[in-house]
Amino acid sequence: MNDLRDRIEHIVRQVVMETVERSADSWLPAPFVGGRRPLIVANWKMNLLAADVQKYLAGLAPQIESGPEVAICPPLVLLPVLRAALGKHSQVALGAQDLHPFPFGAHTGEHNGAMIVDAGADYVIVGHSERRAAGEQDELVGRKLQAALAAGLRPIVCVGEQLDERENGTTLKVLRNQLSIALAGLASPLPDPADLVVAYEPVWAIGTGRTATAAQAQEIVAFIRERLGELLSFAWAARVRILYGGSVTVDNAESLAARPDVDGFLIGGASLDPDKFSKIIARAARVKSLDYNREVER
């Protein structure tokens, strides 16, 4: 029954989005809803060394943090290096790419939330598909989310469907499950909406050069927001930032960011080049910042 409902809902959403896509100018500034400050996150994954950090930071545009919030998630060992080197980019936030759910103990090779805070991070990615591919299940993602919040970190919770799940029409079902299990431990009082981020990362789009269309991203991100509302609180969900991730480039950033529910990006490959990363931020700022400034002035 749920499956049938999901399939019908997905088809209706796609038809609506395609109609909107045909009739709308996709380059129009996105209406800025809920006072959500756009967030653009670099996920360096297992790339770059300490020796690359200065050059990377020097390659970022000087005004990079004047619009969207910007965060860099380097390999864990580079967090203190980046923290010390940020200099004129001191507004750039830092994040880790994973954490262990336990606060301490015999877990060789792992790092807890307190260590990650100590190393200079504000954010931590949890449930990235590359970790899910290594066996991480939704329950564990939920425990990591709780551990992150308990340590004072802002979790960026990744969700997304595999290619076969998209093709067999179960995308919404997969996301419904991922969200309800990962967020099951959240209860009243809910965290400040600025302290929890969700990233929609269709697995088939990560590192493949195959990006979701802006309409597909908007459809699913809006679905995630509704689902957060149903699960927790609609007022809260309206203020939570939901990012898109998966082969974001300088060329597709503007049309994706122009979608009203897409509050920014989680970027892998393109974030390794500071020039491309700066351009993506500038393009997202172009479609979001007018409204962002208006919100700030209120």
Q: Tokens 């597709």 belong to which residue?
A: 252
Extract the tokens encoding 155.
């979790």
Exposed, middle or buried by CB within 10 Å (0-12, 13-18, 19+), for 5? exposed
- 3-class SS of residue 122: coil
Residue from 38, 120, 142, 268 in contact with ligand PGA (CB under 6 A): 268
CB nearer ligand PGA, residue 95 or residue 245: 245
What dihedral do alpha carbons 114, 115, 120, 125 form, nearest 10°?
Answer: -80
69 contacts 93 by C-beta, under 8 angstroms? yes
Distance CA 205, CA 186 (A): 29
Give which of 102, 164, 98, 165 is closest to 132, Cα–Cα. 98
Residues 69-128 that bind ligand PGA (CB under 6 A): none
- The span of 48-56, 168-176, 199-207, 226-234 binding ligand PGA (CB under 6 A) equals 199-207
Task: Provide the CA 289 distance to its chain's centre, in angstroms.
Answer: 18
Q: Which is closer to ligand PGA, CB of 120 or CB of 245?
A: 245
d(CA 257, CA 214): 8
> Which of 132, 225 has the CB closer to ligand PGA?
132
Q: Which is nearer to ligand PGA, 156 or 232 (CB)?
A: 156
Q: Is 65 designated active site?
A: no
In the list 72, 92, 196, 267, the residue contacting ligand PGA (rule: CB under 6 A) is 267
Task: Kindly tell me which residue out of 78, 258, 266, 284 binds ligand PGA, with binding defined by CB under 6 A.
Answer: 266
Residue nearest to ligand PGA (CB): 268
Radius of gyration of the chain, Cα coordinates, nearest whole angstrom: 18
Of residues 230 through 259, those in contact with ligand PGA by CB under 6 A are 245-248
What is the nearest approach in angstroms of ligand PGA to the Cβ of residue 131?
10
Query: Exactly one of 128, 130, 161, 165 is catalytic; which is it?
Result: 128
Q: Is 128 marked active-site?
A: yes
With CB under 6 A as the contact rule, which of the stretches 54-62, 105-113, 261-269, 274-282 interacts with ligand PGA? Answer: 261-269
Write the DSSP assignment of 38-82 as a string of letters. Answer: PEEEEE--S---HHHHHHHHHTS-TTGGGSSEEEEE--GGGHHHH
Q: Could you say whether residue 43 binds ligand PGA (CB under 6 A)? A: yes
Q: Given the complex with ligand PGA, which of 72 and 232 has the nearer CB atom?
A: 72
Compare residues 232 and 257 and give the one whose CB is closer to ligand PGA: 257
- Binds ligand PGA (CB under 6 A): choice among 17, 30, 82, 206: 206
Neighbours of 90 (CB within 10 A): 8
**Per CB under 6 A, 35 contacts ligand PGA:** no
> Which residues does the annotation mark as catalytic?
128, 201
Write out the residues near ligand PGA by the rule CB under 6 A: 43, 201, 206-207, 245-248, 266-270
